[in-house]
Amino acid sequence: MPQTFKKVALVGKYDSLALAESVERLADFLSAHGCEVTLARQTAKTLDQPRYKQANLSELPTVAEVVIVLGGDGTMLSIARALAPYPVPLIGVNQGRLGFLTDITVDNMEAELARMLAGEYDAEQRILLAATLQHEDDTYEEGPAFNDVVVSKAATGRLIEFEVFIDNEYVYTQRSDGLVVATPTGSTAYAMSAGGPILYPTLEAIALVPICPHTLSARPIVVSSESRVDIIIKRADDARVHLDGQNYFELQKGDTVSICRMPNSVTLLHPRHYRYYDTLRQKLHWSRQI
């Protein structure tokens, strides 16, 4: 039987006064229907007089059974990365643009969430990536990614050159603007813009998509999510590795970026009527007559 939820945490896009009204409206609705509501501390700062219990983001999984994220896909990405170590499900309410990850609208959020908290939902497991950057001096930097890990040129505009290994097997040397290593979730983001395939969200797979390669034969490839991808920088006057387009590290010649699947997955909850292909048709304007 699906779990029902009474302890609910709300997280809104930080520093967004436009979201304050929606957060307060939803908190009041949930409280009136018997839920114990906790606000993320930074979200509470956007409200004039927050009347609800507050907790730091990392504390939410200890006080809530489900976390509702109000904002756009970017907000969901950052919250999913932060809460990935904890087995707490996430629900997205869209106040952004596309809304691939936040599929409930603000206009009908009360009715939708009332049904979902009562157990009428479908749960979906999404994989994340862990990226580790090893410098030539053997120092390390690391971080998680929900959408993608992108190795790319930075401000100079010059091509970078790198070698790609998958599970310690040499694949190719490439000169290009970079490479997107994407989860199925991220396959509808930068990877799609770079010509990569759309992967069904629950696939156990990772896509490698070149960005403007300096050859006509370079093509995206899809590998098992259990694979490890190593990218060794051979030439780069100015390069970076980006995690979900939100965090980044500078790259130098000789650096190695290693990418593998994180042991934890993110659980997203959707309304029962949610259909992934409906979302693709709507967001990507498929079947629209000109």
Q: Which residues are catalytic?
A: 73
Q: How many residues can be counted in the chain? A: 290
User: b/e map of 145-175 (b: 16 or more CB within 10 Å)?
Assistant: bbbbbbbbbbeeeebbbbebbbeeeeeeebb
DSSP string, 116-162: HHTT-EEEEEEEEEEEEEE-TTS-EEEEEESSEEEEEE-SS---EEE
Which residues, in sequence order, are bridge partners of residue 121?
271
Rounded Cα gap, residues 20 and 191, in angstroms: 33
